[in-house]
Structure 1
Amino acid sequence: MTTTPFQVSVPRLTVPVTADDHTAGPANAPVSLVEYGDFQCPYCGMAHAILQDLMRLRRETVRYTWRHFPLTNVHPYADLAAEVAEAAAVREAFWPMRDWLFANQSGINPRRLMVGVERLGLPSAEVGDEVGAHLYLDRVRRDLVGGVRSGVAGTPTFFVNGIRHDGGYALDDLLEAVDQAAESAERRGDYRT
């Protein structure tokens, strides 16, 4: 009797990065790093500082993308925080809001979110109305559904050049994954567009 070797399916990113995503770094970078995260997740908060270091160290190598994956069953204001970040995004302030949310993560609640909006100089009444009407909830849900389809079950979850990174997210772990992906892309002559 002949047996077939057991093949393990590697989870892949099913929704490609587009102009609608929140990205930082060069569009043609050899490495695309996508994070599915939750603004109330303490592990995402720890990863935030690590990613800032990674982007500083691999500035020309990595295009970083943030996608929402609010775990509302354990983080009651995760959806709301994501919606506030989207309201900031339409005002060209997604990245400052993201930084503020992680810096103030332990105190996220509806009132505190409006403090962040005001601190960033955004129109709090307008943002409050938009978030209250859930104008950005579809955008947040689109990220969440794409994550589920890509095999995301918790946060943070990273994809390096479309393949889920199941290693750690300490700086050394991510640097190793990024450097390996960059070397592989260089060998293939593959650069993102």
Structure 2
Amino acid sequence: MFIPPSPRDRYQGKLNAPVVLVKYGNYQCLQCGEVYQLIQTVQQYFDLVFSQENQVCVVFRHFIESSIYPQAQKAAQVAEAAAAQGKFWQMHDLLFTHQKALGNGYLVEYADVLGLDISRLLQDISKRVHIDRINQDIESGYQSGVTAVPALFINGVRYTERWNIEQLKAAITTASH
């Protein structure tokens, strides 16, 4: 991985955790949604196994291929606008839960559900306030060899095994030692 995780990233857990997963993805890619669910399950598993939290840190970076995923850019902007209001992970979860409904009306509805300031969110999007941050994520992906999503790095090493629970748990267990 070319650009290591830092406080600038969107992350859950502690950046100095024994295992840091960096996922490049977008909210419209259905396989990214499947990997989102897989990582959620793995995170819960390791929290139980270690009887404490913060053994696994999860970082999310945007990687948008606009020609393939035309609604992903707007969804990413909404996630970042939600982050500006302290609700990135809540919006992140909603967008993956409802990734087949990413039209403008739905995005505003999700913001309303989270109690966000809608006019501020819409202003952020219309002024493209968060585009540079999203583009920095995409550029870091390119620098790390990402060409398609989903892409996952475990402690800086690209995960290339099968996308299933057993393979991912094994890779994380190996990385934690």
Using the size of structure 2 for normalisation, the TM-score is 0.93
2:150 is matched with: 156
Report how many residues are paired. 171
Matches of 1:167 and 1:125 in 2, distance apart?
Answer: 43
Preserved contact between residue 37 and residue 155 of structure 1 (Cα < 8 Å)? yes
Matches of 2:150 and 2:132 in 1, distance apart?
Answer: 21
What is the CA distance between 1:112 and its match in structure 2? 1.2
1:14 is matched with: 2
Preserved contact between residue 77 and residue 110 of structure 1 (Cα < 8 Å)? no
What is the CA distance between 1:90 and its match in structure 2? 1.3
Q: Report 1:3-42 matches (<5 A).
A: 13-42=1-30
Amino acid at match of 1:45: G
Matches of 2:44 and 2:161 in 1, distance apart?
Answer: 21
Amino acid at match of 1:76: P
Preserved contact between residue 87 and residue 136 of structure 1 (Cα < 8 Å)? yes
Q: Deviations over 1:95-137 (max 9, x none)?
A: 0000100111001112211111111110111101111110000
What is the CA distance between 1:27 and its match in structure 2? 3.1
Preserved contact between residue 39 and residue 78 of structure 1 (Cα < 8 Å)? yes
2:85 is matched with: 91
Q: Secondary structure at the match of 1:14?
A: coil
Q: Secondary structure at the match of 1:92?
A: coil
What is the CA distance between 1:29 and its match in structure 2? 1.3
Does 2:31 match 1:43? yes
Matches of 1:70 and 1:110 in 2, distance apart?
Answer: 17
Whichever of the two has the greater Rg, that structure is 1
Matches of 1:27 and 1:36 in 2, distance apart?
Answer: 16
Matches of 1:110 and 1:137 in 2, distance apart?
Answer: 17
Matches of 1:168 and 1:112 in 2, distance apart?
Answer: 33
Using the size of structure 1 for normalisation, the TM-score is 0.86
RMSD over aligned CA atoms reads: 1.0
1:136 is matched with: 130
Q: Secondary structure at the match of 2:96?
A: helix
What is the CA distance between 1:164 and its match in structure 2? 0.6
Amino acid at match of 2:23: E
What is the CA distance between 1:15 and its match in structure 2? 0.7
Q: Secondary structure at the match of 1:35?
A: strand
Aligned sequence identity (%)? 33
Does 2:132 match 1:174? no
Consecutive unaligned residues in structure 2, runs of 5 or more: 48-53
